[in-house]
Structure 1
Amino acid sequence: MTVKYIGDNFVIDELAHCIYIAEHKHTVRPKTFDLLVYLLSKPNQIVDKAQLLAQVWDDVTVEEQVIFQSITELRKIFAGQTVIQTHPRKGYAWVAPFVLEKIQVEKPSPQFKASKYLGKKWLMASAVLVFISILMIFSYFHRDDNISKSNVKQPTQTIFILPTKNKLMDANFGWVSMGIMDSLITQAGDHSNIMPLDYVLLSMRNAQMTRDYDAGQIQRLFKITNASVVVESEISRILGEYQLLYQIHFLTHQQRGVIQHTSIEGLISRLADILANSTNVQLAGQSTQSKTIYSEMFVEAVLLSQQGKLADAIQLMQTLIKLEPTNIAAYKMLIDWLQYLGKYAQALVFSQQVIEVLEQSNLPKSELYYRHAYNLFKLGDIAAATEYSKQLNQLLAVENNPYYLGFAKQLEGELLLEQEQPNAALQAFKLSLQQFERVSFSIGMTSIHCLMAKAYQQLNQAEQQDKHLQAARKVVREYEIHNLLGLFRIELDMLEN
């Protein structure tokens, strides 16, 4: 026997762990479905948060925020219907009427269901096929005149893979936008070309790019980042297949096309191959780290941070780490947010925790070792920070990560400057500047010039000090990064003319 909850416009199938809304099937995360069933078992009764945590998340310790996430997920599915009532400071109650149906366990007959709507399905299929044909013909005859060059590998310096525009219209695929981007970034072995996820999001913020970015915003991204290649994509679904429209923007031309596959993983794999054939990127295969971003909670936390709700974002990311203690991407983002707020002691707890996780894996470690060393530095533990700085340099001798090679040398210089060794600090800063100039990291270049000005101030060399302050101002003007200086705690008064 199995149970179905049948309402005016919905059917909740307990055996299949899915929800049908007007013939449309929705799947939800297991814990979310468990919460739904528990509320259904107590219709019109207020269930407090403590009870939900005890009944649904009895096998793990989480914060109350995880309940909010599940309730939000359910409300998106039941959009337009009042099914769950919130009682502030009390809890939640299922309020929509339903009947309980107990039936024999049977697998639904796809053929019967298909026959019921066969005429409609064929009409839809025909219309979509005609649309796709027109789209492909249009794309062929309206390609850029230089598109024939796309088969020739282009010399690249910096490649930006933007978040995918999500047209799936399904709450279960909220992760897709950044998930596809992160998967492509982590599959690319040549990190000297591919921009990391956090830098892409930062650069989009500086370029004032919206989630549905347009051609003008992409051109602005080219201007202020010195990018050589920008990859945009849009995902939708037609007749059971996923469809990905992609456009690879080069400095002189564009390459675009359509990919169709029965799985999102298949789309990612094909686009990765196209990117590899069109640029100098070398694929390293599917990364296990890329799977960590496939989490609606991760995406929700990032969106909260972009809306200025950093405290909520931090709380949600901490909950995610409790649920997925090996989620490296979540650790990185959380530590960065805590550092931005100046909460280095709290950030240190998480950087120490994630380093212990990394020691049990083969994943790259330099990015987290840098964060840990920086936490120690800001907390005044110069000896420990110096030791981790040395380990960081050893890691970077093996790992191909020019961004963090720049960060590592910057930290090395800051540690030396703290110990009043300005000449040695300047040598480290010069190496850092070379790395940041190589990848056109404008914030890094600005920061290093300011630090070099401080070093020359210790040496009482006013002329050199002013030279580097002028260089910092030039970078700020050239890359239009005024609104990011405070974010990176660059001393604004140093750059005032």
Structure 2
Amino acid sequence: MKLQYKTQGFTIDEKAFSVISEEGTTRALRPKTCQLLIILLKNSGQVVTKQQLLDAVWANSVVDEQVIFQSIKEIRQLFQDHDVIKTLPKQGYIWLPNVKTSHVISSVIGLPYMRFMVILLIATAFSLNYFWFSSAPNTSFHSDITGSVVILPTVNNIEGNDHSWVRLGMMDQVIQRLPNHDKFGILQTDYVLEVLARANVPLQNIKPHHVGDIFQVSGAELLVSTKLSGTPHDYQLSYTFYYRKAQTKGVLFSTDPQLLIDKLVRELNLALGVSDDSNHGYYHSDFSDEMLGVAIDLRLENNHLAAKELLEVIVLKDPNNLTAQRLFIETLLNLQQLAEATQQLAIALPLAQQQQDHSELTRLLYFQAINLIQSNSPTEAYGIIARAFKLAESYHDWLFMAYLTDLKAYLATQAQQFSKAEAYYHRAMHYHRVLKCPVGESSTWVRLGLLAKQQNNVEKQTFAFEQAKSIATQRELHQQVELIEQIGFK
């Protein structure tokens, strides 16, 4: 038996934490926000104080009132800013519209459960192995993997908002557990999301037919697609390893999502031909905060002001979330708010060192260097770049080795050391080629073309832009082609 609330054309399920419109569409709402909404609905027409909301929704967290303001804002947006919540200064909030309640009997053996049992029986028939589509993964391709490996967001097929962390959180935990290599690199979570945006792939509904587009844009040699299904404590994680000319499928079972991640990482390491040196049963992921997914979506839409507001809430609520700290700093730099970025870097850098997170420390140092460059402090920037590059190099972080070398080239250009800048750009291109990243390689040719233009070297300029456009055209990087043509090299 579960309780449902109906108001303003929406049905809110107390147990599943779901919000469904009259048309049957499930609306996205964070679990904490949905909890707050249910409390207001339960007390319709009565004042609910801020302290009551904090005690009920954030009982085990140390947060301030800002989290309530953010949730109230999200609820008002869901109800299209109709006058649904009245704020009483220094008192609390009242839910204004009428609310109807109903009790619904939920069947224990529902369709998702039956599907799970069928799959389990099929899997059991294959010698009690947990592979469904094949008795063992095809690992004959691992010796050929050079370039980048892309782990895609996990498709979550479990009803309710309790598992909303899965989409980015599970993906990020897998990425963190996989080592970079001298022949290939694991693309980090936020860069994967940029790749998907370039390929015009919907972040929340990735389909098999999108795979070709992702290969085209990313230059990856291996794509990993996952889907979480089943019921709580009876999970199944189906996966597909997409190679350029083949694919391997399988399904894993467990009562715990973290154990599923462990199993998937073992299969990936086997496919990549590397050993799993990690003994973690649980691996922390900053992307498990569902609010961070919303902020990333806003950033990808270039809505930096809205993203800033949300990221600020996240870092106040969870200052140890280094990913949120970094994205907040990057957003401040995009908004040219350099003083605020400097203050936030002073908070985030010691945290990264304390947590010994070399990946986030490299990225924070990169943004510190950009901040110094924008603040006209090139000498200090050189020192930070050198420190970050040494760190990136020690962990085969090819992407940021390329980015940091680009910064070196930019500073050399500013100092009119053109030969040095050209050498840096060619070195950066080498790092992009390790990842087989067409966007990075094409962009570096564009920079070489602009460098040649600055020196009035028409021959080098023409060659560089022809190379840039050729790569972008062959790989169908339409935005990149438009960029090159806007500069005037058609």
Q: Do structure 1's residue 167 and structure 2's residue 157 form an aligned pair?
A: yes
Change beyond 3 A, Cα 1:225–1:281: farther
Q: Do structure 1's residue 314 and structure 2's residue 315 form an aligned pair?
A: no
**C-alpha separation between the residues in 1 aligned to 2:396 and 2:351?**
21
Shift of 1:388: 1.1
Pairing 1:76-91 to 2, within 5 Å after superposition = 85-87=84-86
Q: Do structure 1's residue 257 and structure 2's residue 250 form an aligned pair?
A: yes
Shift of 1:85: 3.9
What's the secondary structure of 2:93's corresponding residue? strand
Equivalent residue, structure 1, for 2:145: 156
1:150-198 deviation per Cα after TM superposition (whole angstroms, max 9, x unaligned): 3663421221110010111221211101111100000011264211112
Shift of 1:356: 2.2
1:19-59 deviation per Cα after TM superposition (whole angstroms, max 9, x unaligned): x958x476999976995798589752355879967998899
Equivalent residue, structure 1, for 2:326: 332
**C-alpha separation between the residues in 1 aligned to 2:133 and 2:63?**
54
Pairing 1:113-124 to 2, within 5 Å after superposition = 121=109
What's the secondary structure of 1:325's corresponding residue? coil
**C-alpha separation between the residues in 2 aligned to 1:352 and 1:480?**
41
Equivalent residue, structure 2, for 1:352: 346
Change beyond 3 A, Cα 1:405–1:274: same
Q: Any conservation in 2 of the 1:413–1:429 contact (CA below 8 Å)?
A: yes
Pairing 1:71-470 to 2, within 5 Å after superposition = 85-87=84-86, 92-94=93-95, 121=109, 128-130=116-118, 132-133=120-121, 149-150=138-139, 153-157=142-146, 158-190=148-180, 192-210=184-202, 211-238=204-231, 240-285=233-278, 286=280, 290-307=284-301, 309-364=303-358, 365-470=361-466
**C-alpha separation between the residues in 2 aligned to 1:259 and 1:342?**
46
What's the secondary structure of 1:470's corresponding residue? helix
Shift of 1:328: 1.2
Q: Any conservation in 1 of the 2:33–2:74 contact (CA below 8 Å)?
A: no
Following TM superposition, where does structure 1 have runs of at least 4 consecutive aligned residues deviating by more than 6 angstroms? 25-34, 48-59, 73-76, 88-91, 95-99, 122-127, 135-142
* Amino acid in the other structure paired with 2:189: L
Change beyond 3 A, Cα 1:98–1:369: same
Change beyond 3 A, Cα 1:231–1:71: same
Q: Any conservation in 2 of the 1:46–1:87 contact (CA below 8 Å)?
A: no
**C-alpha separation between the residues in 2 aligned to 1:35 and 1:343?**
33
Shift of 1:230: 0.7
Change beyond 3 A, Cα 1:453–1:307: closer
CA-based RMSD: 4.4
Shift of 1:278: 1.4
**C-alpha separation between the residues in 1 aligned to 2:133 and 2:281?**
33
**C-alpha separation between the residues in 1 aligned to 2:195 and 2:260?**
25
**C-alpha separation between the residues in 2 aligned to 1:124 and 1:331?**
38
Q: Do structure 1's residue 69 and structure 2's residue 71 form an aligned pair?
A: yes
Q: Any conservation in 2 of the 1:190–1:282 contact (CA below 8 Å)?
A: no
* Amino acid in the other structure paired with 2:118: V
Change beyond 3 A, Cα 1:380–1:243: same
| Greater CA drift, 469-478 or 285-294 | 285-294
Shift of 1:400: 2.2
Q: Any conservation in 1 of the 2:76–2:84 contact (CA below 8 Å)?
A: no
**C-alpha separation between the residues in 2 aligned to 1:205 and 1:122?**
36
Shift of 1:453: 2.4
What's the secondary structure of 2:291's corresponding residue? helix
**C-alpha separation between the residues in 1 aligned to 2:413 and 2:393?**
24
Q: Any conservation in 2 of the 1:190–1:281 contact (CA below 8 Å)?
A: no
* Amino acid in the other structure paired with 2:121: S
Shift of 1:262: 0.6
**C-alpha separation between the residues in 2 aligned to 1:310 and 1:266?**
36
Equivalent residue, structure 2, for 1:107: none
What's the secondary structure of 1:228's corresponding residue? strand
What's the secondary structure of 2:200's corresponding residue? coil
**C-alpha separation between the residues in 2 aligned to 1:200 and 1:309?**
19
* Amino acid in the other structure paired with 1:129: M
**C-alpha separation between the residues in 1 aligned to 2:255 and 2:76?**
26
Q: Any conservation in 2 of the 1:188–1:281 contact (CA below 8 Å)?
A: no
**C-alpha separation between the residues in 2 aligned to 1:390 and 1:368?**
13
Question: TM-score, normalised on structure 1?
Answer: 0.77
| Greater CA drift, 351-360 or 164-173 | 351-360
**C-alpha separation between the residues in 1 aligned to 2:39 and 2:132?**
55
| Greater CA drift, 337-346 or 253-262 | 337-346
Equivalent residue, structure 2, for 1:104: none
* Amino acid in the other structure paired with 2:472: V
What's the secondary structure of 1:360's corresponding residue? helix
What's the secondary structure of 1:193's corresponding residue? strand
* Amino acid in the other structure paired with 2:226: S
What's the secondary structure of 1:171's corresponding residue? coil
**C-alpha separation between the residues in 2 aligned to 1:242 and 1:7?**
22
**C-alpha separation between the residues in 2 aligned to 1:123 and 1:429?**
56
Q: Any conservation in 2 of the 1:289–1:328 contact (CA below 8 Å)?
A: no
Sequence identity (%): 21
Q: Any conservation in 2 of the 1:233–1:245 contact (CA below 8 Å)?
A: yes
Residue correspondences, number = 455
Question: TM-score, normalised on structure 2?
Answer: 0.78
Unaligned runs of 5+ in 2: 6-11, 19-28
Shift of 1:480: 2.5
Equivalent residue, structure 1, for 2:24: none
1:445-466 deviation per Cα after TM superposition (whole angstroms, max 9, x unaligned): 2332222223333433221122
What's the secondary structure of 1:173's corresponding residue? coil
**C-alpha separation between the residues in 2 aligned to 1:169 and 1:493?**
46
What's the secondary structure of 1:172's corresponding residue? coil
